[in-house]
Amino acid sequence: MELLTTNNVWMMICTALVFFMHLGFAFLEIGLTRQKNTINILFKNIFIITVGLLLYCLVGFNLMYPGDFNGFIGFAGFGLDAPLNAEGALDLAYNEGYTYWTDFLFQGMFAATAATIVSGAVAERMKIGPFIVFTLIYVGLVYPIAGSWKWGGGFLDALETPFYDFAGSTLVHSVGGWAALVAVFLLGSRIGKFSDGKPQAIPGHNMPLATAGVLILWLGWFGFNGGSVLSADPSLTSLTLVTTCLAAAAGGVVSALVSTLMYKNLDLTMFLNGILGGLVGITAGADQMSPTDAILIGAIAGAIIVFAVSLIDKLKLDDPVGAIAVHLACGIWGTLAVGIFGELASGAQFISQLIGVLSYAAICIVSSFIIIFVLKKTVGIRVSEKEELEGLDAHEHGMDAYPDFRLNEH
């Protein structure tokens, strides 16, 4: 009982840290976009976490953890049904690391993150109604079904050499990243982003907030990865936090160096996204890596960020916050890195990791394309030119994030 209590308290602390990450996402997104769209971004982020938790309670948790199923899709029923012992009390033998309720809440915090990634990528020009519909379907159905393939004991977990994703480089980050890529492709770029085929910088309005957002996300990752140990095991938890931090630091430094060499300026946004890239990269194997492995994985992720941002611009895709580079490109890298570095490194493991990446690419690209394409052809997904130029806050919310409180001089 004492061990269960210790483990459960740690898991609840980690749950709180992952919840705190949503503030980091909100700060980062509003900081890297323009003032006139601040309310819109905040509204979407609040919607995602509130409705995401309700959906995960009603259907998501039992889609993701259906028990015995065919390995591709299963459903254990609507709502939460905690296991009870013979006396009718909560069965504390459910898991040696945490209770049923803690399990639900920790996993529920992960579920909303996938849609938050999409929110940043489509910022400043997507109608909020279609975004809400997309979130309901993607978080409520697609994410938990895809998650069951590994974390629910599905076919990827049953491979001869099981696919490995410790805390979600693929299951969380690239699930959001693939959908972001599809959404940006179908949505089109913001007005003024490309002129004569060349990308133009559209600066965010509050870099201090963006920086605070990244630091909050880094802190939250202590719960994201640390909680994925699924216990308070001192050795494994400590190692996981060390590898997480080292990868983040290496990602930031290398991204800043590479971008400076390429563009001859000290770009804070590249530094910040490099940190996030390092965090996403280490997430698949944080418990399997040595400190040196973690630094190498984070460093490569930091370089990937710079080249991925450049490639996205060359493809004339508009991602205001760099979500595709961070969560998709580095999510793929981190997943494959499990087969290259650390305790699991082998040719067989690398093949399994590749199978996992391709499997998630397939379900995410197909499902997100169908959802968003249908919305585009029926209700439309993009605001009008006037609404985009004047800002979504005024037209979709009738509010201003920074109203003028000048005193009456008379």
Q: Are 389 and 124 in contact (CB under 8 A)?
A: no
Termini Cα distance of the chain: 69
What is the H or E stretch that residue 119 is in?
A: helix 100-121
Q: What is the pLDDT of residues 125-174, one digit of tens each?
A: 999 999 999 999 999 999 999 999 999 999 999 999 999 999 999 999 99
Tell me the percentage of the chain whose pLDDT exceeds 90: 89
Domains, the chain, with CATH or none: 2-397 (1.10.3430.10)
Give the integer Cα–Cα distance in Å for 83 and 357: 33
For residues 33 and 80, what is the distance between their CA atoms, to the nearest angstrom? Answer: 38
Position 245: which residue type?
A: C
pLDDT tens-digit map of 12-33: 999 999 999 999 999 999 999 9
Write out pLDDT tens, residues 220-261.
999 999 999 999 999 999 999 999 999 999 999 999 999 999
Query: How high is the pLDDT of residue 407?
Result: 45
CA neighbours within 13 Å on the CB side: how many for 269?
21
- CA neighbor of 144 nearest in space, from 11, 25, 53, 15: 53
Tell whether the torsion through CA atoms of 335, 339, 340 and 343 is positive or negative: positive
What pLDDT sits at residue 2? 78
pLDDT band at 196 (very low <50, low <70, confident <90, very high): confident
Q: What is the pLDDT of residues 88-129, one digit of tens each?
A: 777 766 777 788 999 999 999 999 888 899 999 999 999 999
pLDDT band, residue 182 (cuts 50/70/90) = very high
Q: Which residue type, as a one-letter code, is found at position 262?
A: M
| Buried/exposed code over 93-129 (b: 16+ C-beta within 10 A; e: otherwise) | ebbebbbbebbbbbbbbbbbbbbbbbbbbbbbbbbee
